[in-house]
């Protein structure tokens, strides 16, 4: 009758509320039709006035709910729960006015239970089920008798044979109507109605249990599908970045080789150069050679990644290799090492893409805080943390919310994290780790810099597997 919950099928609670209101109006229309039919055949209900009052209230509540729903006010799960509570209340009033538990339509109370189990979380669903079972139980004792159902009330042979015979040869008078609010113990203890109550109780519990578990299974399946879809989009973004990087590396090879030849010609030309000029030439040679190494590593890393080649490496060695590669490019940055020598016994399982991710984060820290960057290594029995800190102005909230999901468009700022951060996050994620960015604050909650934390699983030195 209803779709499964928004948490399972990404349907808004507003759609559930709208459908519940439409269903409520349909029930009201059918009830009104029954009242009109009874009047037409000259057999009006004894409680016709009460039913019409309930109908009017139900129509007003449904109309108001639909208007608020259309305006975007009734859109939460709690409001779906309240709407179903209203349905239980209205159904209970109808049944109370027409014979209580003797009314066979009392089983319609299973409908709100089914809807709640399919559209709400477990605690709300169990609440609706409990309230509905309590309502049915009270209707066994408290109700306004309905002559039609009492005439059809099952009686045992023994009780019929023992009834006194009236003047016209008929059994005793019909059961008296329970028009007061006192509980009707006789109908509550009737085996037929007790059996109906037990049947309702079992049905309600089974419906709740099965639908809740089915909804959970569908929710898990949908989450897995969504994660696969997100991973596919993420991989496509990384592939496009890798394609651009490969093309750029190929295009840079020719100009770098040309610059290297020109510098060699200048150096070996025999022309007199002063000390400053020679230092500049040597620096240019070193920088160009570093560019060549970076391009070669880019190609090598791509081949490693394609072949799935990784190795177990000491955390100390990994950081030292990164610093040996990075510091010649950023000699002006003061780097502070906070880790201890004992981390030489701590290993991780990675390839050069992790080293490149660390270098990217060092560059980001140096761009924001050129005077100070620190790096630390912390570890537990299962995880190794590489912590890179700076003393800049901190990261804006937009970056903290957006990083890792897509390349950050931060072109308005001079020092952009941009593509490097996105690729770093992808590399770390591929090694079953994660990247955390956060701002550091002093005792007065004033930003004193940013912190990037790379978490990787520890590796077993012997087996090369994660701990």
| Domains, the chain, ordered by start | 6-148+182-232 (no CATH), 310-457 (3.30.565.10)
Cα 164 to the chain's mean position, in Å?
69
pLDDT of residue 253: 76
pLDDT tens string 284-327: 888 888 888 777 766 666 555 554 556 888 898 899 889 988 88
Cα distance between residue 55 and residue 25, in whole Å: 9
What digits encode the pLDDT tens for the residues 159-198?
Answer: 444 444 444 444 443 344 444 455 565 555 678 888 889 9
pLDDT cut 90: percent of the chain above it: 23
Q: How far apart are CA 407 and CA 18, in angstroms?
A: 39
Q: What is the pLDDT of residue 360?
A: 86
Is residue 6's pLDDT more than 50? Answer: no
Residue 331: how many CB atoms within 10 A of its CB?
Answer: 7
- The region of weakest confidence among 211-220, 222-231, 440-449, 457-466 is 457-466
Q: What would the pLDDT profile of 246-259 be if each residue is shown by its tens digit? A: 677 777 777 888 88
Helix residue ranges per DSSP H, 327-392: 352-368
Quick one: pLDDT band at residue 404, thresholds 50, 70, 90? low
CA 459/CA 138 separation, integer angstroms: 63
Q: What is the mean pLDDT of the chain?
A: 78
**456 — pLDDT class (breaks 50, 70, 90):** very high
211 against 352, higher pLDDT? 211
Per-residue confidence band for 128, with pLDDT thresholds at 50, 70 and 90:
very high
Euclidean distance between CA atoms 45 and 43, whole angstroms? 7
Give strand pairing partners of 44. Answer: none
Count Cα atoms within 13 angstroms, Cβ side, for 393. Answer: 5
């Amino acid at each position: 009758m209803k779709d499964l919950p928004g948490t399972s099928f990404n349907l808004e609670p507003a759609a559930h509320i709208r459908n519940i209101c439409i269903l409520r109006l349909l029930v009201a229309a059918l009830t009104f039709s029954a009242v009109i039919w009874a009047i037409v055949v000259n057999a009006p209900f004894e409680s016709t006035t009460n039913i019409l009052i309930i109908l009017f209230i139900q129509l007003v509540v449904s109309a108001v709910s639909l208007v608020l729903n259309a305006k975007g006010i009734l859109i939460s799960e709690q409001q779906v729960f309240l709407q179903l509570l209203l349905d239980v209340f209205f159904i209970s009033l109808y049944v109370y006015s027409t014979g209580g538990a003797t009314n066979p339509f009392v089983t319609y109370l299973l409908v709100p239970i089914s809807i709640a189990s399919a559209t709400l979380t477990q605690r709300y669903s169990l609440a609706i089920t409990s309230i509905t079972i309590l309502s049915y139980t009270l209707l066994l004792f408290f109700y306004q008798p309905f002559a039609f159902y009492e005439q059809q009330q099952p009686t045992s042979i023994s009780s019929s044979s023992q009834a006194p015979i009236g003047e016209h040869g008929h059994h005793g008078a019909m059961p008296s109507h329970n028009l007061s609010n006192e509980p009707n113990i006789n109908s509550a203890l009737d085996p037929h109605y007790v059996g109906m109550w037990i049947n309702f109780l079992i049905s309600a519990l089974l419906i709740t249990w099965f639908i809740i578990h089915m909804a959970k299974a569908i929710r898990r399946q949908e989450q897995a599908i969504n994660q696969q879809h997100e991973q596919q989009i993420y991989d496509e973004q990384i592939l496009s970045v890798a394609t651009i990087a490969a093309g750029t590396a190929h295009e840079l090879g020719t100009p770098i080789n040309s610059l290297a030849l020109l510098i060699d010609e200048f150096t070996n030309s025999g022309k007199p150069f002063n000390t400053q000029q020679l230092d500049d030439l040597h620096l240019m040679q070193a920088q160009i050679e570093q560019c060549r190494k970076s391009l070669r590593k880019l190609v090598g890393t791509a081949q490693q990644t394609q072949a799935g080649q990784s190795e177990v490496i000491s955390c100390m060695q990994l950081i030292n290799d990164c610093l040996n590669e990075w510091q010649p490019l950023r000699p002006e940055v003061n780097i502070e090492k906070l880790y201890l020598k004992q981390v030489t016994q701590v290993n991780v399982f990675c390839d050069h893409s992790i080293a490149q991710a660390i270098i990217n984060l060092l560059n980001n820290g140096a761009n924001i805080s050129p005077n100070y960057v620190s790096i630390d290594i912390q570890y537990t029995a299962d995880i190794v943390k590489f912590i890179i800190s700076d003393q800049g102005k901190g990261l804006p909230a937009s970056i903290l919310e957006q990083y890792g999901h897509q390349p950050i468009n931060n072109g308005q700022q001079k020092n952009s994290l941009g593509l490097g951060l996105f690729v770093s996050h992808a590399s770390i994620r591929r090694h079953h780790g994660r990247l955390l960015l956060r701002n550091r604050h002093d005792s007065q909650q004033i930003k004193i810099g940013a912190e990037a934390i790379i978490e990787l699983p520890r590796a077993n030195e012997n087996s090369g597997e994660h701990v």
